[in-house]
């Protein structure tokens, strides 16, 4: 789901950066305020987990690839603000050091893999908990939340790529950046994530939640306000 440099117009890249800067400012202050030694160690492990799992790319027919993100898991364990910061840091390291995702497209990648999935997972898990009368994290609710979280991020990626040829083209109609429209990008991104990567994300999230629920009582970890 990482978008490389050159796939998005400068206007799109600037807009995405402008969109995430307020979240960075507000959430970083909240994370700094609520951080303690125990939470810091757990958060570091979570960020490392997200970094590693995003490096495992699975080829998709059509010349691209996909992967899990771990964003939903971090959101369910620490909250969407912490998940946003941690995954954003992982994405920055991947772009700067490993070339996985572009520098100019970093803002778009943060929106698709950090911002959208963290809040979808958080609020969907909350709604499912209310409907099923669950007061604590539940593997089933976690799996469903993680599934739709990553699919939502994939939908954003497909849309932002797919609109490029419609808005940014030469006088003769030749696309200046990403050449394929929504009729190609939406099925190319959504079908693999609906059928494969959403399930992978859901299974991984539910297994980790189940493990933590039965060992060391880690799910009682509270974030200081």
pLDDT digits (tens, 9 = 90+) for 30-60: 887 777 766 777 778 878 888 888 877 777 6
Closest CA to 194 of 154, 164, 166: 154
Q: Which residue has the tokens 């609520």?
A: 34
Element at 65 (helix H, strand E): strand 64-66
Closest to 151 (Cα-Cα) out of 53, 90, 52, 66: 66
Q: How far apart are CA 74 and CA 197, in angstroms?
A: 17
Q: Are 114 and 46 in contact (CB under 8 A)?
A: no
Q: How far apart are CA 224 and CA 72, in angstroms?
A: 20
CA–CA gap between residue 189 and residue 192 (Å, rounded): 6
Segment-wise mean pLDDT, segments of 10 residues, the chain, 225 residues: 92 97 91 74 80 77 71 92 93 90 95 96 92 79 95 95 93 91 92 91 91 64 39
């Amino acid at each position: 789901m990482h978008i490389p440099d050159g796939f998005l117009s400068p206007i799109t890249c600037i807009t995405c950066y402008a969109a995430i800067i307020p979240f960075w400012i507000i959430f970083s202050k909240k994370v700094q305020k609520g951080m303690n030694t125990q939470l810091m160690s757990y958060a570091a492990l979570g960020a490392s987990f997200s970094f590693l799992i995003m490096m495992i790319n699975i080829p998709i027919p059509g010349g691209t690839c996909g992967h899990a993100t771990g964003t939903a898991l971090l959101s369910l364990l620490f909250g969407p603000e912490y998940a946003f910061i941690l995954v954003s840091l992982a994405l920055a390291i991947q772009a700067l050091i490993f070339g996985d995702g572009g520098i100019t497209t970093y803002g778009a990648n943060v929106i698709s893999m950090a911002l959208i999935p963290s809040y979808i997972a958080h609020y969907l898990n909350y709604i499912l908990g209310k409907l099923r009368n669950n007061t604590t994290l539940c593997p089933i609710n976690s799996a469903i939340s993680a599934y739709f979280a990553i699919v939502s991020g994939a939908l954003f990626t497909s849309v932002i790529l797919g609109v490029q040829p419609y808005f940014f083209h030469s006088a003769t109609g030749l696309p200046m950046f990403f050449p394929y429209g929504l009729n190609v990008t939406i099925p190319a991104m959504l079908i693999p994530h609906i059928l494969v990567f959403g399930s992978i994300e859901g299974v991984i999230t539910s297994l980790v939640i189940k493990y933590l629920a039965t060992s060391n009582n880690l799910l009682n970890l509270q974030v200081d306000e």
